[in-house]
Amino acid sequence: MSIKPLNDDTIQLADGRTLGYAEYGDAKGAPLFFFHGLPGSRYQSAMLDSSARDSGVRIIGPDRPGFGKSTFDGNRRFDSWPDDVRELADHLGIERFHVAGISGGGVYTLASAHALGDRVLSAGVISGGGDISTPEALEGMHPQNRAIFELAKSGPDAVAEQMAPLAQAVRENPEMALEGVKAGLPPADLEMIERRPEFMEVMREDGLEAMREGTLGVGYEAWLFVQPWGFDVSEIKRPVVLWHGDDDRNAPLSHAQALADKMPDAELVVWTGMGHLTAFERLDEILQKLIAIAN
């Protein structure tokens, strides 16, 4: 592995499922649970390692059900995720913590901030998508994303079947598969990928781990995204910061703006000329802000 985690382990949850997680950054730092994108795994947290060490932050990155080492759960919803986070925090002896998620992990950040009350010190949504259960919410997405979510309306199995060739390609020829990921990315994202080859290495490892058990986890989560979220973000009482590039074609800026408008203690930071993945260039800023607003 290109960036070795401090810890790479599993726990057994109260309902018998397995939850995988990895830790990065400063082992004695302020704890922050980081939620990966779609698809993704605990290894995506490796991108935060250097910034977390510099900022004195301990990153705990769990696999969501159906990804990496975490057991698939065909009954879960967005608002059931905080229970898994609570169990993992209790297992690690962590009482209060920060939460953050990138892209598809953003909704899980907000669900945690909504359900876990004062245990959450601050919450960060990075290039996060909004509620896409309505047709107009898909406007502004690049065609690949839009096609996946349109297909997801038919159910999890349809997406899982569609994604199966990609999962096989990731296993057999990850470099070629990652070339396909570049399609539709804005110039800022493409420039960063070319300039930082270590980013592509983490993406390769993360992609392999995300679909190690197949694509049903991806299909189920894509289906979740075209359903109502199941909780009201306006009820979140914790401080939330949303960071978003104005040239993001995976999750349009309008999603972040709509979310920020609904939350009583939310700040939206818009990055001019930045896309979806370039958020990884601003991790120092993100981590330091999340720690500061909790003090």
d(CA 214, CA 276): 25
Lowest mean pLDDT among 104-118, 144-158, 196-210: 196-210
Which of 63-72, 139-148, 152-161, 244-253: highest mean pLDDT? 63-72
Give which of 152, 126, 124 is closest to 138, Cα–Cα: 152
Token duo for residue 277? 């993945």
pLDDT at 1 over 60: no
* DSSP class of 103: G
Place of tokens 């079947």: 161
d(CA 157, CA 175): 26
pLDDT at 278 over 90: no
Instruction: Compute CA 169 distance to the chain's CA centroid, rounded to the nearest angstrom.
Output: 22
Mean pLDDT for the chain? 91
Sorting pLDDT into bands at 50, 70 and 90, what band is 210?
very high
Three-class DSSP category at 281: helix
Question: For residue 67, which phi and psi values (nearest 5 degrees)?
Answer: -120, 150
- State pLDDT tens for residues 160-203: 998 887 778 777 776 666 666 666 678 888 888 888 888 878 88
Q: What is the mean pLDDT of residues 47-52?
A: 95
Q: What integer pLDDT is reported at residue 238 of this predicted model? A: 95
Sorting pLDDT into bands at 50, 70 and 90, what band is 23?
very high
pLDDT at 223 over 90: yes
- State pLDDT tens for residues 226-275: 999 999 999 999 999 999 999 998 899 999 999 999 999 999 999 999 98
d(CA 287, CA 52): 7
Measured CA to CA in angstroms, residue 177 lies from 77, 168, 246, 261 at distances of: 29, 9, 27, 37
122 or 135, higher pLDDT: 122
Q: What is the mean pLDDT of residues 2-25?
A: 96
User: To 5 degrees, how large is the angle CA 272–CA 226–CA 135?
Assistant: 70
